[in-house]
A and B are shown apart, each in its own frame.
Chain A
Amino acid sequence: KNQVEQSPQSLIILEGKNCTLQCNYTVSPFSNLRWYKQDTGRGPVSLTIMTFSENTKSNGRYTATLDADTKQSSLHITASQLSDSASYICVVSGGGGADGLTFGKGTHLIIQP
């Protein structure tokens, strides 16, 4: 069964600190992996998209890594800001199912001043 597991479920860190969010998947076949940021009550916004051959991709202070062998991805946030408070959703494309997208349930990140 295609699954995407994210950890931790929630995380609280102080402003200025770094953090890393994890995404493990069992989706097969694999096409790409996406990280989205979702502010409370708003639609998700894409941060990165990585294919099988890409190990790392950055978007400002956000850096995503992908290990296709172990089927793991991480999202690293550097020098966190209050505006980073949001849910971060990992989505894997390529497996079967309705339209080939398997969503994780997200990590809820809170940045405290």
Chain B
Amino acid sequence: EAQVTQNPRYLITVTGKKLTVTCSQNMNHEYMSWYRQDPGLGLRQIYYSMNVEVTDKGDVPEGYKVSRKEKRNFPLILESPSPNQTSLYFCASSIHRGYNEQFFGPGTRLTVL
């Protein structure tokens, strides 16, 4: 089944404790992206990747890192999480940036205490 998977789905952590949210897609998509979704603000892009080893900042990249060493994986790293990073996070992928349909993962609900 074609899909985007994220892990973990739920995470409660404390300020400053490094964490990684994994994202994997099995559709051989070149383009992958991370979003956060907060009430009243909609989806906001954190980082995106056009292809392996090519990543770029989105609209709200502060406090996050990403890597794209393989085509299928695009982990999101929070080196020192803070409470303002409490949010619902989505990974997405598409064949290319642009026209193609974007497939979203199931989401990761992160709470930073």
Contact = CB atoms under 8 A, between A and B. Distances in A.
Contacts of B102: 34, 46
A89 interface: yes
Interface stretch (A16-24, A63-71, A78-86, A94-102): A94-102
Interface string B30-54: 0001000000111111001000000
8 contacts: A42-B106, A44-B104, A46-B103, A49-B101, A98-B58, A99-B48, A99-B97, A106-B42
Binding site of B, secondary structure by majority: helix, strand, loop or mixed? strand
Given A45-B104, A46-B102, A103 B43 contact: yes
Contacts, number: 56
B97 A43 contact: no
A76 interface: no
B81 interface: no
Contacts of A89: 42-43
Interface string A100-112: 1101111000000
B80 to A, nearest CB: 23
Contacts of A34: 101-102
Interface string B85-113: 00010101000011101111111010000
A32 interface: yes
B59 interface: yes
A101 B45 contact: yes
B25 to A, nearest CB: 12
A97 B101 CA distance: 19
